[in-house]
Amino acid sequence: MTLEIENSPTQAGPDLFKVKIHVSRGLYNGITVEKSNSNLYVALAEMVDHLLEKFNRFGDKARVKERTGARRLVRATT
């Protein structure tokens, strides 16, 4: 997980917080989510929500592939 703050030295204004997570191993290998907001806690909350959606979609995709393969196997044997 990477937490980052962007602050322009030439312009006054609100800071921008960036939260990024990259899964590099395990079941969810390759998933990357990045969110930014002027409030760190809002950026974290948005990242967590989006990460849960990504994990669910990733799991759904794996289940669909498994079911499709099983159906092909059943059709091939009958």
pTM of the full structure: 0.68
Distance, in Å, from the CA atom of 69 to the CA atom of 5, rounded to the nearest integer, reads 46
Domain spans, the chain: 2-77
Confidence of residue 30 (pLDDT cuts 50, 70, 90): confident
Distance, in Å, from the CA atom of 21 to the CA atom of 54, rounded to the nearest integer, reads 12
Q: 44 pLDDT exceeds 90?
A: yes
The runs of H, that is alpha helices, within 1-78 are 40-77
> Which residue type does 38 have?
S
- Taking only the tens place, the pLDDT of each residue in 5-27 is 888 667 777 889 999 999 999 88
